[in-house]
Amino acid sequence: MDRELSANDYPAQIVRLVDPKLDATAALDYLESFDFETAVAPQAVVDVEMGRACVSGLWLKHDFLDRSHDISQSIVSVTGSFWHGIMHRREGDFGNAKYWFRKVGDHPIFPKIAAAAHTIDPNQFVDSRRWDPYGFVDRCADAADQEVPDALLNEIANAEWDLLFAYCFQKAIGNA
């Protein structure tokens, strides 16, 4: 990636969908009619699979896990497996999440996630260069077992989503 993206760097239709204030009902209505190619026009989509990965991520962002799952499982790439792993981690199927992260291997954005996690919680995420998706799954499982929301884990998961979405978006439009 040439540079980091923020929500305001996306086209208006995507900015609307990444707005944290968008409620689930409005998101569902909007996602039902969302078309990635239309959203990025007049830019052309140069990598359709990465555009589909963006759409999977948008469904996931708004907790429509089944819809995200349907898309991510049909994307046969490490990035599709990454979205798939996040979805299963989010639903609490931690073993299945690890299965999909094994298919990911070493994704190009792992160092950026490691740096973000270290910035958010340097005591728990000491290595700012190496991301351990399995360790993160375990931390999420521990938090779920304790039935206590962990704000830092949520913040790291949000940073992971932002970084993966930006990666997919830039690949989709040929800006990577």
pLDDT computed for residue 146 by the predictor: 87
**pLDDT score recorded for residue 42:** 92
Q: Copy the structure tokens of residue 174.
A: 């040929």
One-letter identity of residue 23:
D
Q: Give the chain's mean pLDDT.
A: 93
Task: Return d(Cα 36, Cα 72) in angstroms, integer.
Answer: 15
Chain centroid to CA 157: how far?
8
What per-residue confidence (pLDDT) applies to 176? 66
Query: What stretches of the chain show up as alpha helix (H) in DSSP?
Result: 12-18, 24-32, 36-40, 48-61, 65-72, 78-91, 94-104, 110-120, 133-146, 151-173
Q: Is the pLDDT of residue 19 over 80?
A: yes
Query: 56 in helix, strand or coil?
Result: helix
The position carrying tokens 């990666």 is: 167
Q: What is the pLDDT of residues 73-120, one digit of tens each?
A: 999 999 999 999 999 999 999 999 999 999 999 999 999 999 999 999
Length of the chain: 176
Query: What is the rounded average pLDDT of the residues 38-42?
Result: 95
pLDDT band at 7 (very low <50, low <70, confident <90, very high): low
Q: Averaged over 11-40, what is the pLDDT?
A: 94
Q: Which amino acid belongs to residue 130?
A: R
pLDDT of 3 > 80? The answer is no
